[in-house]
């Protein structure tokens, strides 16, 4: 993360700002727009092709999931929460051999527990290459931190107090 990014789940008047992860950087992703209502990014086809010279379907899924998840975390941050993905599905309509793709996430549902975003991957001509739908679970910081615990320590504590079955 960059130094100006806030940690997801920290209550703030300002929504969380996107910071690229390692895979995003390797794929050449660039953020164009970020808000609760829309996240837009671009990615070059070059460097993200499969062996037949076409944009790799997995690259479309990876970048689509990232953009949809960022959109969910931006929204969640306005509630003092963070988001984790629980489901993603995609339909590949066509592919691309060159140029750039634009990835746009827009909300279908913004709730207190779940978000669902539609993510469109389009080519330079604006043709739809892939449509994704991603659902994210919103978590309070307390629940988000529970996943970072040592599972064996939790099991031992549960055994000690008799709650482990």
Active-site residue set: 65
Q: Which of 11, 70, 64 is nearest to 37 (CA)?
A: 70
Instruction: List CB contacts of 5: < 8 A, sequence separation 6 or more.
Output: 16, 17, 18, 19
How big is the chain, counted in residues? 165
Neighbours of 40 (CB within 10 A): 18
- Measured in whole angstroms, how far is the alpha carbon of residue 56 from the centre of its chain? 18
DSSP state of 55: B
The three-state DSSP-derived secondary structure of 114-140 is: EEEEEEEEECCCCCEEEEEEEEEEEEC
Q: Residue holding tokens 């969640």?
A: 76
**What element of type H or E holds 153?**
helix 151-160
């Amino acid at each position: 993360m960059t130094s100006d990014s806030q940690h997801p789940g920290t209550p703030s008047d300002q929504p969380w700002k996107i910071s690229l992860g390692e895979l995003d950087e390797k794929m050449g992703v660039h953020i164009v727009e970020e808000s609760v209502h829309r996240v837009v990014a671009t990615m070059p086809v070059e460097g993200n092709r499969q062996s037949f010279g076409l944009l790799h379907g997995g690259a479309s899924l990876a970048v689509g999931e990232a953009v949809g998840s960022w959109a969910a975390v931006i929204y969640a941050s306005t509630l003092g929460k963070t988001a984790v993905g629980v489901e993603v599905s995609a339909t590949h309509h066509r592919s691309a051999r060159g140029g750039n793709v634009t990835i746009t996430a827009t909300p279908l549902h913004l709730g207190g527990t779940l978000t669902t975003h539609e993510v469109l991957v389009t080519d330079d001509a604006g043709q739809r290459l892939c449509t994704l739908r991603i659902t994210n679970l919103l978590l309070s910081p307390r629940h988000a931190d529970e996943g970072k615990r040592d599972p064996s320590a939790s099991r031992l504590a549960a055994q000690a107090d008799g709650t482990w079955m």
